[in-house]
Structure 1
Amino acid sequence: MKPKKIGILGGTFNPIHLGHLVMAQQALNQLELDEVRFMPDYLPPHVDHKDAISAIDRVNMIKLAIADNPKFNLELCEVKRKGKSYSYDTMKELTTSNSNDKFYFIIGGDMVNYLPKWYRISELLKIVTFVGVNRIGNQKSNEAPVLWIDSPTIGISSTDIRSQIQSKQNLKYLLPDNVITYIKENQLYE
């Protein structure tokens, strides 16, 4: 069986937005990946978990956001494992169970400088290729072993979206329409 090139885009996705989808599509295109898996964390080790809604709602929104792209999939290993989500533990599990495949861990260019602080980063670098998504305003760092790709700049953040929901602003063109509907129907972030 031919080895697959699999992109992993991890995060809290609180909520998933068009910026996430553009990053994933650019990585898919530029690296000629077979698929990109969106991997929501259960409990991020670096974020105050009280700010994140339930993993079930975040997973449901990801399913809605990626439903129309056959090369986008959902990776639930961190949600199923529960507890704090460390990328090393997750990628060790995935590379062990998919030993023929090559994994590309996609991160925003702003996160590259934080890589030295990641849990067991030297071991993680041996099992995955990090992909930095370059955006305007980011300085490409050559200190970390990262494969850089370019992406259109879309200045959308989940934090800003949550704030806009609380102030009852229109979310059109920030999130997929079906995700906006889900948020409204479930009264999330209010």
Structure 2
Amino acid sequence: MSRIGIMGGTFDPVHVGHLIAAEAAREGCGLDEVWFIPTYNPPLKDNQPSVSSELRLQMVQEALGGNPAFKAVDIELKRGGMSYSIDTVLELKKRYPDASFSYIIGSDRINDLPKWHRIEELAELIAFIGLEREGTAAQLGQLPEFIRQRVTMAAMPPIGISSTDIRSRVRSGRSIAYLVPDTVHQFIKRRGLYES
């Protein structure tokens, strides 16, 4: 049975922190692959993505750079509408019945798990790999038991990079070199993304 980690997010833009998180989870939890699944419409974020779903998917594909353990999956973009994790997991389990899936999430998302749509059903279908994010500690003790028993923490180097900061840097004309993979940096420059 293949062990697959799911990295969901807007990836607006994808950055090296996402890649480091994926690799930390892959290595720390013995995953065979990590699938990056850009959301169409994220339910727990106030702001909509700054660029189109097509461009965000292309940036993810550029970032993965042929790593055989990483894969971009457009399942939520094709489905459209609100990107609820339960819908994605049900579809993935139908398509890949021999795979075992785990969501890879930062400590901020771990604390939000009780708010996830149909979390009781989701927690029966999938495990969660938690990675500590700088500035937000995981509050595992405050989670309901049915969620807490499905969370495994994995070590990750502290990386203070965010997509919000990267968009702000581009808007103000500051460098994003080394914050995103070079292929993504060039893609953003060629397309003039995030400049206004």
TM-score (norm 1): 0.94
Q: Distance in 2 between matches of 1:160 and 1:30?
A: 27
Give 1:135 deviation, angstroms.
Answer: 3.5
Residue 127 of structure 2 corresponds to which residue in structure 1? 129
Residue 69 of structure 2 corresponds to which residue in structure 1? 71
Corresponding position: 1:165 with 2:141? no
Residue 106 of structure 1 corresponds to which residue in structure 2? 104
Identity level (%): 44
Residue 87 of structure 1 corresponds to which residue in structure 2? 85
Whether contact under 8 Å (1:135, 1:152) holds in the other structure is: no
Give 1:136 deviation, angstroms.
Answer: 4.4
Per-residue deviation, residues 6-55 of structure 1 (Å, max 9, x unmatched): 00000000000000000000011011111000000112123345443100
Q: Distance in 2 between matches of 1:99 and 1:183?
A: 37
Aligned-residue Cα RMSD (Å) equals 1.3
Secondary structure of the structure 2 residue equivalent to 1:148:
strand
Whichever residue aligns with residue 68 of structure 2, its letter is P
User: How do residues 1-190 of structure 1 correspond to structure 2 at under 5 angstroms?
Assistant: 3-48=1-46, 50-140=48-138, 141-142=140-141, 143=143, 144-145=147-148, 146-190=151-195
Secondary structure of the structure 2 residue equivalent to 1:70:
coil
Larger deviation: 178-187 or 127-136?
Answer: 127-136
Larger deviation: 44-53 or 162-171?
Answer: 44-53
TM-score (norm 2): 0.92
Runs of 4+ in 1 over 3 A off after TM superposition: 48-51, 135-138
Q: Distance in 2 between matches of 1:45 and 1:133?
A: 21
Q: Distance in 2 between matches of 1:134 and 1:150?
A: 7
Larger deviation: 114-123 or 90-99?
Answer: 90-99
**Which structure 2 segments of 5+ residues have no match?**
none
Whichever residue aligns with residue 24 of structure 1, its letter is A
Whichever residue aligns with residue 37 of structure 1, its letter is W
Cα 1:102/1:63, change in 2 over 3 Å: same
Secondary structure of the structure 1 residue equivalent to 2:184:
helix
Q: How many residues align?
A: 188
Secondary structure of the structure 2 residue equivalent to 1:91:
helix
Give 1:101 deviation, angstroms.
Answer: 1.0
Whether contact under 8 Å (2:50, 2:194) holds in the other structure is: no
Cα 1:97/1:68, change in 2 over 3 Å: closer
